[in-house]
Amino acid sequence: MADHPLPEPEVAKDWLASMLLIRRFEERAGEMYAKAKVGGFLHLAIGEEATIVGAVGAMRERDYLISTYRSHGHALARGTSPDPVMAELFGKEGGLCRGRGGSMHMFDLERRFMGGYGIVGGNLPLAGGFALASDYLGTEDVTLCQFGDGASNQGTFGETLNLAALWKLPVVFMVTNNRFGMGTALERHSAVTDLHKRGEGFGVPGMQCDGMDVLDMFHVTGEALRIAREERRPILVEALTYRFRGHSMADPEEYRTKEQVAEWRKRDPLITFGDRLVAENVIDAATREQMDADAVARIDAAVAFADSSPFPSPESLYDNVYVTGGQIRGWYSVDTLHPETGSPDNIVTQSETGAVPQAMTQALEAGEDQ
């Protein structure tokens, strides 16, 4: 990969600070999961920080970003406060999605982070839709869609790339190739292992970058975004990276050796980029240590915020949920499956069905959830 010069000192320091914040957030999230503070699944991006920060650094504020279920770092890099991100992991009302989404479904419309997505490859058609909207409205907004190497074997990959090329949509598809689709090595799940070439048959040219180098990520992503924005056509970027932790917290990692992980850790983007900033006198060793301490303190505050935030009330269980039938409260509870009972005259109100959440509240107060 190319040897790129450093950006302006403040930009370089901001990139390092952002990668440190993501790393310390992910480490603490893992600790909180082990303490049963976090429910559901938890996928950590430890080792992949450069793929996030470098790519986001190349984007404009109005560009759209959509990622996978490994999405905490994307929200942070896009500028979301760590407080609601951590609270979302805790399932708390103060979370980014009021505790409804959890780890895999972060979402921040204000910063045009269009979410993590729990279905492998499911974010690709959505990215095509965002790009179609930009094209339809005639804006310069480009969509960046990050997904894993395993998703490149999903049907949505080919379907979306084909339509994006056919309709000349301003979208950059970025496959973060960390060598494993869950626990299956790339060579065992893909006949073509140069994943940036996978789009050629659909009319989508490819580029490749070093996903362990934030500078290379920035420059290659920037060029891909330029092409999509100015030439109005899709690009496929392959970021070669590696995750230092398992696919999820439930992963025993029996498919790779400790020696392999240790070898990749020598290319830790936080270490290599931090070393270069010190070597080129952008920061000194004391500043580097303070930046790390600041990241830890910020995550401490995020955990405290998440701990103090309340859980959603049982009465809000059905808020923002599409439902049918008379058993659920709310003016939107119209049974469209049975027209004879689904007319506006038969809309069920909260007062008529309040017994369900009220019973849940009484059970919680009585400690029956223990």
Report d(CA 7, CA 5) in Å as an integer: 7
Q: With cut-offs at 50, 70 and 90, classify the pLDDT of residue 331.
A: low
What per-residue confidence (pLDDT) applies to 326? 59
* Residues 6 or more apart in contact with residue 34 via CB below 8 angstroms: 249
Residue 356, pLDDT > 70, answer no
Q: With cut-offs at 50, 70 and 90, classify the pLDDT of residue 352.
A: very low
Q: pTM of the full predicted structure?
A: 0.86
Q: How far is CA 42 from CA 75, 88, 163, 186, 238, in A?
A: 15, 12, 32, 22, 24
User: What does the mean pLDDT of the chain come to?
Assistant: 90
Q: With cut-offs at 50, 70 and 90, classify the pLDDT of residue 226.
A: very high
What per-residue confidence (pLDDT) applies to 132? 98
Q: With cut-offs at 50, 70 and 90, classify the pLDDT of residue 217.
A: very high
What per-residue confidence (pLDDT) applies to 319? 81
Query: What residue spans define the domains of the chain?
Result: 9-308, 316-365
Handedness of CA 251, 256, 258, 261 (dihedral sign): negative
Find the mean pLDDT for residues 15-30. 98
pLDDT tens-digit series, residues 262-311: 999 999 999 999 999 999 999 999 999 999 999 999 999 999 999 999 99
pLDDT tens-digit series, residues 300-329: 999 999 999 999 999 888 787 765 555 555
Residue 358, pLDDT > 70, answer no
Instruction: Give me the CATH code for the 9-308 domain, please.
Output: 3.40.50.970
What per-residue confidence (pLDDT) applies to 362? 65
Find the mean pLDDT for residues 114-126. 95
3 state SS of 148: strand
3 state SS of 158: helix
- Provide the pairing of β-strand 180-181 with 171-177: unpaired
**DSSP 8-state assignment for residue 69:** S
Which has the closest alpha carbon to 83: 295, 345, 300, 342? 300
Burial class (CB in 10 A: 0-12, 13-18, 19+), 264: middle
Which has the closest alpha carbon to 218: 364, 60, 13, 57? 57
**DSSP 8-state assignment for residue 34:** H
317 or 26, greater pLDDT: 26
Residue 159, pLDDT > 80, answer yes
Handedness of CA 50, 56, 59, 63 (dihedral sign): positive
Both tokens assigned to 116: 């993590």
Which has the closest alpha carbon to 76: 295, 234, 359, 319? 295
**DSSP readout, 231-252?**
S---EEEEEE---SS-SSTT--
What per-residue confidence (pLDDT) applies to 318? 76
**DSSP 8-state assignment for residue 40:** S
Total residues belonging to the chain: 370
Report d(CA 137, CA 114) in Å as an integer: 18
